[in-house]
Chain A
Amino acid sequence: MFANHKYIAFETIVIKEIRRFSRIWLQTLVPPAITIALYFVIFGNLVGRRIGEMGGFQYMDFIMPGLIMMSVIQNSYSNVVSSFFSQKFQKTVEEVLVAPVPNYVILSGVIVGGMARGLAVGAIVTMLALFFSDLRIEHPLITVAVVLLTSAVFSLAGFINAVFANSFDDISIIPTFVLTPLIYLGGVFYSVQLLPTFWQVVSGLNPIFYMVNTFRYGILGSSDVDVYWAFLILGVFIVGLYSSCIWLLRNGKGIRT
């Protein structure tokens, strides 16, 4: 397949993915915005005023990067898992499988679609945050890089979930029982410095902890983790998950009988 044909195929998949979540914006874009706005109002504004400072910042300012990152993670993941599983379930995935589209183009298109939703929701939440806090970005490059890479990691993870899922229950188990606890324990609402040493070490095993803190470093200039270490972890996850996804596609796991 010529390079320009591959690009057209890639663009087609991305457009299709974006059209899908845009068409059902009441299910995909509005609910996360409302949920995060409530977090801002309740935790940031009402409870936050009594908490005072966290990690050297007003509580609202402290939780804002974590809440933006939470929305990016959840939406990147859920877009890919629900879109690709639906394609499997309805057999519409066959449309692209019978076409001469290389596996890496299929994967890249689906992943960029997931990232697009994660970033769209992240942008909406960031705009909402402006009503509650004066947003200053200390390290724009780090902020953009970490949000893009994190969104890619969870889009890839969502793809693996979709490949193995056999029912609609299977696509909600990981987000409910794994992703949400990891996000909540990833330092979104508190500084890890508040925890006893043992739990600080345990937090260090949670990859989301690094992503949230690096994003916080990008916005506030302060973090509980070493930023370079965080980027290394993100890189390892992307390479590992991407390779796994390509292997699954090549072997037709869950999509070719």
Chain B
Amino acid sequence: MTTAISITDLKKTYVNGFEALKGISLEVQQGDFFALLGPNGAGKSTTIGVISTLVKRSSGSVKVFGKNVDTHVYDTKLDLGVVPQEINFNQFEKVQDIVITQAGYYGLPRTLARERAEKYLRKLGLWEKRNDRSRLLSGGMKRRLMIARALAHEPRLLILDEPTAGVDIELRRSMWEFLTEINEGGTTIILTTHYLEEAEQLCRNIAIIDEGLIIENTSMRNLLEELDSQTFILDSPVEIGTVPNFNFKDVSVCKVDNKCIEVTIAAGRNVNEVFAELDRLGIEVSSMRNKTNRLEQLFMSRLNENGLK
């Protein structure tokens, strides 16, 4: 399989002395949907900045589809589409002009640029707004416009830096569908996000970056399997009397309120057995949900471990 992006011992120290990246190495395979997670200031945006050449690295190397970004500037930039965290289009320009102009920077003739603008503005639900000044768009629309702009030249690798920040849940889900569709179409996607549910739902592989270092780099499946336990909130349609006494040592139960209990189940314990036990105890369950997002639980534990080092 071809490597979409290969980063080796990347370091970046800003002029004020802040060491944003302390030597990160990372590989993302072609076709992957990859999550780059980390707290604010961890180095995610700096990494994206270096890949897109907006940030000058201090040392290390970056290859896009096997080509060095220094020696193959044209090819690597052509393969790359970037959706930055901050709105960075001219807010006085018309929506359609922003996409057409970006396509022009990549050498697309005007007619093709117009076709691409229509294609992606339609896909992202912005076609009706094509003649509006971009400053009149809502926050969610502005983010979708940046995605349409990044796709105008149809890159093989799309990097999205918190594309759903501040976007309502309905819109976020429609963006997830769109991103899944283009990933299935062959576009490699690297996503940074603070919504861990988003990363868990969309991404197959994950890296966690903290204080300029990669502290975890694995598949989403492997990471989630590392969970020691999961806590579920169970709702009952009828009142639960006393806290039930479970026969299992690796399951703990506590009462949240008269119609709700919290059950913590250790990894490896069959959930069916827990439900059978609940049934035996006469507890009827009408709904069930995770107390916290599974990835969030792991993410916090990794950050805590890193903080203790």
Contact = CB atoms under 8 A, between A and B. Distances in A.
Given A98-B54, A100-B77, A23 B102 contact: no
Nearest to A1: B74
B82 A98 contact: yes
Contact of A11 (B53, B88, B104): B104
Interface residues of B, number: 35
A19 B55 CA distance: 29
A94 B54 CA distance: 7
Interface in B82-130: 82, 84, 86, 88-93, 97, 101-102, 104-110
A48 B101 CA distance: 48
A236 B54 CA distance: 32
A107 B92 CA distance: 22
A15 B101 CA distance: 9
Contact of A256 (B53, B80, B93, B149): B53
Given A1-B107, A4-B107, A98 B56 contact: no
Contact of B54 (A2, A9, A256): A256
B78 to A, nearest CB: 5
A23 B92 contact: yes
A2 B108 CA distance: 11
A13 B89 CA distance: 14
Given A8-B104, A256-B55, A99 B89 contact: no
Nearest to A91: B88
Given A90-B90, A257-B49, A99 B102 contact: yes
B195 interface: no
A101 B107 CA distance: 9
A112 B101 CA distance: 17
A99 B54 CA distance: 11
A98 B101 contact: no
B252 interface: no
B74 A100 contact: yes
Contacts of A99: 77, 102, 105-106, 153
Interface string B237-273: 0000000000000000000000000000000000000
A12 to B, nearest CB: 3
B107 A8 contact: yes
Contact of A95 (B53, B73, B86, B88): B88
A96 B101 CA distance: 9
Nearest to B72: A100
A98 B77 contact: yes
Contact of A101 (B52, B105, B110, B149): B105
A257 B107 CA distance: 26
Contacts of A91: 84, 86, 88
Interface of A: 1-2, 4-6, 8-9, 11-13, 15-16, 19-20, 23, 87, 90-92, 94-101, 252, 256-257
Sort A-B residue pairs by CB-CB distance and give the 8 closest, nearest first.
Answer: A5-B107, A12-B104, A99-B105, A100-B77, A91-B88, A100-B74, A1-B74, A98-B52
25 contacts: A1-B74, A2-B107, A8-B107, A9-B104, A9-B106, A13-B105, A20-B90, A90-B88, A91-B88, A92-B90, A95-B88, A95-B89, A95-B101, A95-B102, A97-B53, A99-B77, A99-B106, A100-B73, A100-B74, A100-B106, A100-B107, A256-B53, A257-B14, A257-B49, A257-B54
Given A12-B101, A98-B53, 12 more contacts: A1-B74, A5-B106, A8-B110, A11-B104, A15-B101, A16-B101, A19-B93, A90-B90, A97-B54, A99-B77, A252-B56, A257-B49
